[in-house]
Structure 1
Amino acid sequence: MRTILFLVAILTGSMGLAQDLSGIWRGTLTQEAGGCFPVYNLEFQVAFTNNSMEGRSFDFYDRNRFVKHHFNGRFNAQTGRLVIIEDRVMEVNIPVDCVPCTKTYDLVYSKQNGREQLTGTWKGYESESHKACPPGKITLYREANSAFPVDIDQPEALAKLQQNLKIESREKEVVTTIQLDTSNIRIDLYDNAEIDNDTVTIFLNNKLLLYKQRLTDKPLTLTLKAFPDMDYELMMYADNLGSIPPNTALMVVTAGRRRHELRLSASDKKNAVVRFRYYPK
């Protein structure tokens, strides 16, 4: 009997270790008396690696009234418990008589009738005054789609630059679509041949990430934590054609143990595009 129980414990632990919480989780968040609303909608966009997670949280009354935070968290695969801590307010669009609340979530993962869920409690503090917010409870379910656009991290300076940036409208040429089995992605861009002063501007899902950067034998590097079953599109815009047209680049995509090498070519008539998507195992 002890041997059987020991084997069951091993199998249970192995199942926990294999659990991937990446993706979209959505449901309700309640708040005790004193909050702006007694019940909110709540969505987590989770990128999960080795029992650590980061992502975005949206507590919202509707699509036009919401607070968006960045968060980090840890998952205990043996107990099913996870703690998520919001560490940065990213966007606020709420009534003037409400205040954003930055929260810590204490949750448990379970599966009921074949449906995955996160349940637990939360507490927090007002983002400006640091006064305690009335706490509450949470129930979330894994969902296929997000109620909000999945965001791309963009440096503040580039976000401001993009607001007034004007680039020529050009045809898109899709080089390939890559299927990935990990959320951690590294993208390196080099000059493809002779270094001839090729300069590029790079967008990912229409977010400006590199602006007028020269391609050389040293990489221009981007990193991304991809959400599962979401489409990502990297576009290379040629700022010039170098001394040997067209503007060419070697793009190396490293995802886990896999490495993809692609040759991109852009001109004053077309942009080079690579699409990719993360499919969890």
Structure 2
Amino acid sequence: MQRLILISLLFFSLCAGAQTSTTTTTGSWYGKADVVLDGTFNNYLTQLIVKQNGTKVEGIFGYYFRNGYQSFFVKGTYDPKTRQISIPEMPVTFYKSNSIDGVTCNMSFEGTLRVSKVGSFIRGAFVSDPRYRYTCPELRVLFSLDSLVEQNEEISSAVVKQLWQPSVDDKIVIDGADGPEIRSAEPVAGKTETKGPEVNYNSLVTRFKQRQSVVATEMAVKSDSIRVSFYDNGDIDGDTISVFLNGNPVIEKQMISAKATTIYIKLDPTKEYNDLSMFAENLGRIPPNTALMVVYDGDNPQEIFLTSNLQQNGTVRIRKKPALVK
């Protein structure tokens, strides 16, 4: 009788332990995220390695997309009553990009843990800010727990890849009294190489001033410096642009495509605002000249669609947010 009681207690404790372990989000999860739109689009092979501590979760989110892999640390929350896991601000490559280095959508993940005899799953979706819900549509995913991976394995930063690094084509622009100073983003012998703009300055400025600069939108940023990337909006049809900061050329005759044309801008604090303008060098095969401009203010991207033609320059007016008074 005592043996039967001991066996029963042992069986009960094992079941209770199994139930406790399976209702945690800790573990390695994998799944395929699909775009919630009509038609056939690229999907994302995703992995979520999570360590849960009470209602807090942290770990690594990674995904394969077309030609590459990205991964980065994430932090979020878990509600044991509703079994809801929430992870905010997860950068995900734009679903129409031709490579993993394309436009980034800032998305949040909301999912629900489900445990059954079949296995453990997290069903949820990646959603963007409502302002970009049409540009960055919802991605639905069903994560499955990888039972072959030990749940108590430490999360190592060694497996995390940096989201982005400057390439040799990227430019840093510092606006000064004598016009913009343009630097290569690639370090040379431990220093940043300084280069002047390889343009016929007077001719280009004259052509720019002959066209009307139309302010398409205004935006406010917190940072003193921003990263700006230009992409062809729609079909890659040979659109070629020059870019001006406060009336001074910073990029000349650059064909835009699915690969980012990126500049880094140090805003002039003495100005009430800084104007960033797109000058159409041609109209491509499908007029007018259109581009998607993504402005990164710290980790926060803002998307602007610009249109230019042979009479008008598309312009974004950038203002610095006033500092909060403590």
- If the TM-score is normalised by the length of the shorter chain, which range does it land in? 0.3 to 0.5
Task: Give the TM-score normalised by the residue count of structure 2.
Answer: 0.38
Does 1 or 2 have the higher relative contact order (CA < 8 Å, sep 6+)? 1
Structure showing greater Rg: 2
Task: Give the TM-score normalised by the residue count of structure 1.
Answer: 0.44
